[in-house]
Structure 1
Amino acid sequence: MSDGNVPAVLGWWRSRAFARSWPTAIPWLVLAVLVLVALVGPLLVGADPVRQTNRALLPIGSPGHLLGTDDLGRDTLARLVYGARPLLAVAFLATALAAVLGTAVGLVAGFAGGRAEGLVMRLVDLALAFPSILLVILLVAAAGPGTVSLVVAVGVSLAPGLARLARALTAREAARDYVVAARLGGTRAPRIMVQEILPNIAGPMLAQVVMTLSVAAGFAAGLSYLGLGIQPPTPDWGYMVQAGQEFLFSAPRLVVLPAALTLVLVMACNFAGDDLRDALDPRGTPAPQASA
């Protein structure tokens, strides 16, 4: 049987480190608020985020426009609230895709060993040697701008890093007694990987996935800024920064507010991932290394 991290994952919210250190709750609270805004915020904002009016560049605190309007007279608060939804959707979906691909590749490589592992990890090393942002831009440019192509491009570009970590963790677990016993007992390799090894690497993998979420969000916002991500008129924080930079000195809020929200999201994911790693993997996660 596995010595697994499943009970640790299920009981993480009751961990002493989390309960006794309230600052660790801040990034989780921030993430919860952002997700809540993306889910129910549009129901609470009365303004249409794409409706243009003749009341352009109204300042903060204007009647009917709490955060003013942009250069086309669109409500800034509504656009910020609606803009959270596509960014978070792309970030979560791309991270989920990267987690599935990376974990699967790393599990197979780490468990198989030998030449198969060497071949797979050489391909992973090759992908890691290529700048991720450049790979994302090339994939999106080839497939065309859009939500689906953005999710696939970001997910594929982030998968090699998770695969490398999954391979290192799997190789560590594959040498332990419970895996050796399962092999000697005639248990098939897929069952060992899914039922024995995967629960034991779930903790550190989950922590890394949460931290990867910040990279995915940054890529999504950056590509929208470049015009390769979420396409207008759909509100998006990255595109809002690009559209508002023309008014950086006359109406800096058009740039500062969406940029600040993106930064808060990225930092919250990083700090949450660190906290999750400390709670679920107190022994420390081995640094992923290329296979020999």
Structure 2
Amino acid sequence: MTLAGARPLGRWRAAYARRSIARSWLAAGSWLVLAAFVLLAAAGPVLVGADPQRQTNATLAGFGTPGHLLGTDDLGRDMLARLVYGARPLLLVAFLATAVAALLGTAVGLLAGYLGGRWEQLLMRVVDVGLAFPSMLLIILVVAGSGPGVRSLVVGIGVALSPGLARLARALAAREASRDYVLAARLGGTRSPRIMVQEILPNIAGPMLAQVVMTLSIAAGFAAGLSYLGLGIQPPTPDWGYMVQAGQEFIYTAPRLVVLPAALTLVFVVAGNFAGDDLRDALDPRSRR
């Protein structure tokens, strides 16, 4: 009886161990991918000597063309240089928009969770309206109203993604507001702003940081999507989203014009999700499944 019961348990433990190892390798790979993208955006243009905007007569040259490792586009511009330089605007918009979303969402959620009562009801109703409004439509309205560009993208994406972070911050802050250390700080005469910043915020920083990393990948997806629609970074600046849109005309004759920038965007988004999931597990072991 004991052996029969031990075998399924042993198989379950072995399967769980293999799954944990696979998750560890996947998480490590995701962090390496994110680091590689940041390094590509920061130092890539220094390593690639070609000018991404320089046009040549070698239009639609294939892989391995002398002087053009990944070929050229329809205007004879070097694809490798354009892919490397295209990482900068995407990551710049993604990081800045995520920072805006994190600041807005954390501030609103922290206030709502700590103050409670009418203030919580008022702030969370505003958040609910933001969640009910389609994110892409909100971003398009902001960009259309202020014009395409980095600033419009950052503001639009940041505002659109902040409600999700606000809801999480509100739930975490409300939980911490009832803890003994917060009650002790109140009884000791500590002011509310100091309690929120010095007491509650450090205790909710872990789960918030994990969600922010996931938000980074979502922001990158929105930035690429808007560039694809012509509302993001404007040509001739290289941008992966716009490169996909411009290469559609040659999808059958030169599919790499679409596949390469689209694949890079997809890899960054997926890696950001896995990295955020790993960070959540590391900061909150109870979330592991």
Q: Distance in 2 between matches of 1:43 and 1:241?
A: 24
What corresponds to 1:213 in structure 2? Answer: 216
Shift in Å, 1:163: 0.5
Match of 1:86 among 60, 84, 89: 89
Match of 1:24 among 27, 32, 39: 27
Q: Distance in 1 between matches of 2:243 and 2:268?
A: 16
Which ranges of structure 1 fall in alignment gaps of 5 or more residues?
Answer: 1-16, 286-292
Q: Aligned-pair RMSD on alpha carbons?
A: 1.3
What corresponds to 2:131 in structure 1? Answer: 128
Cα displacement string for residues 101-127 of structure 1 (whole angstroms, at most 9, x for unaligned residues): 100010011000001100110010011
**Percent of aligned positions that are identical:** 79
Matching of residues 239-258 of structure 1 within 5 Å: 239-258=242-261
Q: Distance in 1 between matches of 2:79 and 2:60?
A: 9
Residue aligned with 2:285, SS: coil
Q: Distance in 2 between matches of 1:195 and 1:21?
A: 33
Which ranges of structure 2 fall in alignment gaps of 5 or more residues?
Answer: 1-19
Bigger RCO (CA 8 Å, 6+ sep):
1
Cα displacement string for residues 195-232 of structure 1 (whole angstroms, at most 9, x for unaligned residues): 00000000000000000001100000000000000000
Shift in Å, 1:282: 1.9
TM-score of the pair, normalised by structure 2: 0.91
Shift in Å, 1:21: 3.0
Match of 1:143 among 142, 146, 149: 146
Shift in Å, 1:22: 3.3
Amino acid at match of 2:258: V
Q: Does 1:52 align with 2:55?
A: yes
Residue aligned with 1:96, SS: helix
Q: Distance in 2 between matches of 1:244 and 1:130?
A: 32
Q: Distance in 2 between matches of 1:116 and 1:37?
A: 45
Residue aligned with 1:283, SS: helix
Shift in Å, 1:283: 3.0
Q: Does 1:222 align with 2:234?
A: no
Q: Distance in 2 between matches of 1:284 and 1:180?
A: 27
Flag the structure with higher helix content.
2
Cα displacement string for residues 228-269 of structure 1 (whole angstroms, at most 9, x for unaligned residues): 000000000000000000000000000000000000000000
TM-score of the pair, normalised by structure 1: 0.90
Conserved? CA contact 2:105–2:165, under 8 Å: yes
Shift in Å, 1:61: 0.6
Conserved? CA contact 2:26–2:274, under 8 Å: no
Conserved? CA contact 2:223–2:241, under 8 Å: yes
Q: Distance in 2 between matches of 1:142 and 1:120?
A: 25
Q: Does 1:268 align with 2:271?
A: yes
Q: How many residues align?
A: 268
What corresponds to 1:188 in structure 2? Answer: 191
